[in-house]
Amino acid sequence: MQFRDGTPGIYNPLVWNFFGGGIKEGESPSHAASRELYEELRIETDPLDFQLVGENEFENGDYIYFLKLNRAISLKETELNEGAGIGAFQKDEILKISPSKPTTWLVEQFPD
């Protein structure tokens, strides 16, 4: 997970969040996830490596797709390029570490 930095105007500042980002025009959610993972962690993936597990529109109008990478990643193979920190947590620890609202929603919706 990524600890978001406190840059003014940043989405979900100073909380833990799953890695992600915006979808560019013409991109599918899985293509965006693959691009964002490379931009943020320098991990090369194929869009076919991702599975859509949920989507939600929040009260503020944000619409979010949740995708699962169907392969394991070791922190040793990552290079943090965005955010203030990176961490790996067990599922039962996530709700105890100040997660973002979308992260909280995802953990509560998908118990496995």
Which tens digit of pLDDT belongs to each residue from 35-53? 999 999 999 999 999 999 8
C-beta of residue 41 within 8 angstroms of C-beta of residue 19: yes
Contacts for 37 with CB less than 8 Å, ≥ 6 apart? 19, 43, 45, 69
Q: How confident is the model at residue 102 (pLDDT cuts 50, 70, 90)?
A: confident
Contacts for 52 with CB less than 8 Å, ≥ 6 apart? 29, 30, 65, 66, 67
pTM summary value: 0.84
What domains does the chain contain, in order, with CATH numbers? 2-109 (3.90.79.10)
How far is the C-alpha of 89 from the C-alpha of 78, rounded, in Å?
A: 15
What mean pLDDT value characterizes the chain?
90
- Which has the higher per-residue pLDDT, 27 or 56? 27
pLDDT of residue 111: 65
pLDDT greater than 90 at residue 16: yes
pLDDT mean over 60-69: 87
